[in-house]
Structure formats: structure tokens, C-alpha cells
Copies of this chain bind each other. A is one copy, B any other.
Amino acid sequence: MRSEEHLLVEEQSISLKDSETSSKSEYIKNTSEEIATDKPRCLDDDYEVVYKRPKTLVDVSMHYCPGCAHSLVHKLIMEVVDEMGIQETTVGVAPVGCSVFAYDYMNIDMTEAAHGRATAVATGIKRLMPDKYVFTYQGDGDLAAIGIAETIHAINRGENFMIVFMNNAVYGMTSGQMAPTTLAGMKTTTSPLGRDTAFYGEPIRVSELISHLPGSFYVTRQAVNSATAVRKAKKAISNAFKYQKLRKGTCFVEIIGNCPSNWKMTPIEAAKFVDESMIKTFPLGDIKLPKGEDLKLLQEDK
């Protein structure tokens, strides 16, 4: 049972050597010298690779904490880029947040954006290159706090790009302050006694909110805390990429991401916390789906 969703990458070697440095100017080569074998080292010839890291994910160790969802979602996006073969035509926008170095890991053209402004930056890019695949990748502080204006207006204009919204309910990078999505009662460094909704309001459900804007075309909320969840999340990202071709509006993929460090949990506890707490406030699933005729368009397009 070979999963359709997982590309068999044939071109790149698997090695144990750790390319520690992620120097920005260093070109990650895909040249043939480097392509070794797809066979495992310690094993004979009848084995076939059924899963390996996407080749567009730069082969360096990522700076994220153990069990951080960012690295996983980076991987998923690159898997989709590889599967669709759109490395050349994809431009990403990296946020300020823990994923500020996303451009060190994704082997595509990328732009860093000021905190909260990724969708404005992406608007500038996509409007001038409507044929490129453009996406932003943003945290909940970035997208829902300081950047909510740009988020809402980009979506209201129906900008034809994908927004990957990594909702981990805290400000990861700055060490765990309250985010607009922090759960009621959840403790953070700036809500030391737990988020008091009488004072700070309820956590914002961004996906639901922006699904009311006519400019949003596809809105879904996923998690990445189990294999099943990961499969669905990848499918969502894949859909969102494909829908860009239709030019029908913004595709919004919210991902409930684990932040073990700032939740003060082990990665495993964090994964459980997603199921037990996060999805109570942020239920998973599709929130807005393209209408039938729009999908037909896509099929015709193919």
C-alpha cells in the first residue's frame, strides 16, 4: 500500500552527514555527483524507498525546538512543491516569528516580510506575477495580531495566493507571550494567571472570521499531531496550491501547531494537548470549500 500522497523522491542521496551550517549564500546543489543511491546503507537490493525528505527542503538541520510543528509544515509544503514540480514558479513569503528562517530551509525564492506584513508583501509579488505560485507562511501573532489588517484586506481583495497560518496559540519566537489565539485560561508569560477572557476577550477564530469574507475561496483548519492529521494537512496544502490557478480568491490553511517549548510540555504532551484542548476552541476541518463549478474549472484546467 504505497500512499499516493507521498512522493517517491529518486534524485537525492540520503546520508548521515549533517550539513550543519545553513549559510544563506551557500547553494544547495542538486547536481548528479551528489546523487548516490536510493538504497539503504545496511541493506540489500530488494528494498525500495517509500518515504524520504522532499528534495526542495534544504538538507540542513532546522533551528526549531524538538517536536515543533513549524519544521513539519515546512516539510509538507516542500513535498507539495516537489510533487507539483513548481519549484521554479513558487515564491514564498517568510514571517517574523520562529519560522523567520524559513528561507534557509525551503529551496525556492523567498522574501522575508516585516512582522505582520506578509500578505501585503505577497500582494506586491502576486499582483506583478499572477502566474507564479505565491504563499505566505505566518504565525498567529504575525497574522492575527499585528498583521490582522493586512490579512483581512488581502483576503477581502481575494488575493490569489495561499496563506499558511501556523496557529500555536502563543508568540513562539519571543518566548511565549499571549497571542490572539491563546486559549481561555491558558498561561503564558503575559497572561501569567491564564488568559482572562473578560480582560482580553476570547481567542480569535481567524479561519471562521475570514471565511465570511467573499474573497476567501478555500478555508480549512488542520493539525499535524498525528500521522492521519499530517496526511490531511498535506492534502489541504496541496489543494490550496492547486486552487491558485483558478484565480478565485485566497486559500487559507490554518494549522494547529505544537509549540512544546512555550507550552512548557514535552513534544508528546504537546501533541496530546492539541487533541485535548486546542481543537475544542479550534475545531479541525474544512470551513469553506470551493463550489462545484469552480472545481470543475480546475479539472478542465488540467
A interface with B by C-beta (< 8 Å): 145-149, 152-153, 156-158, 180, 198-202, 204, 208-209, 212-215
- How many angstroms from the CA of A204 to the CA of B149 in the assembled complex? 13
Q: Which chain B residues lie closer than 8 Å to A202 at the CB level?
A: 156, 213-215
Complex: how many Å from CA A145 to CA B152?
A: 10
Q: Are A156 and B215 in contact (CB under 8 A)?
A: no
Bound state CA distance, A198 and B208, in angstroms?
22
How far does the Cβ of A155 sit from chain B's closest Cβ, in whole Å? 8
Interface of A is mostly: helix
Task: For the complex formed, measure the closest distance between the CB of A114 and the CB atoms of chain B, giving whole angstroms.
Answer: 14
B201 and A158: CB pair below 8 A?
A: yes
Complex A-B: 6 CB contacts under 8 Å: A148-B148, A148-B153, A152-B152, A201-B213, A201-B214, A209-B212
B157 contacts A148, CB within 8 Å? no
Closest B residue by C-beta to A250: B201
**A153–B181 alpha-carbon span in the complex (Å):** 12
Given contacts A148-B152, A149-B148, contact A201 B180 (CB under 8 A): no
Give the docked Cα–Cα distance between A208 and B200 (Å): 21
Q: How far is the CB of A148 from chain B (nearest CB, A)?
A: 5
Evaluate contact between A204 and B148: CB separation under 8 angstroms.
Answer: no
> Hey, which chain B residues are within 8 Å of A153, CB to CB?
145, 148, 180
> Min CB distance, A186 to chain B, in Å?
16
- Between A145, A152, A199, the greatest number of chain B beta carbons within 10 A of the residue's beta carbon is seen for A152
For the complex formed, measure the closest distance between the CB of A13 and the CB atoms of chain B, giving whole angstroms.
47
Residues of B within 8 A of A212 (CB): 208-209, 212
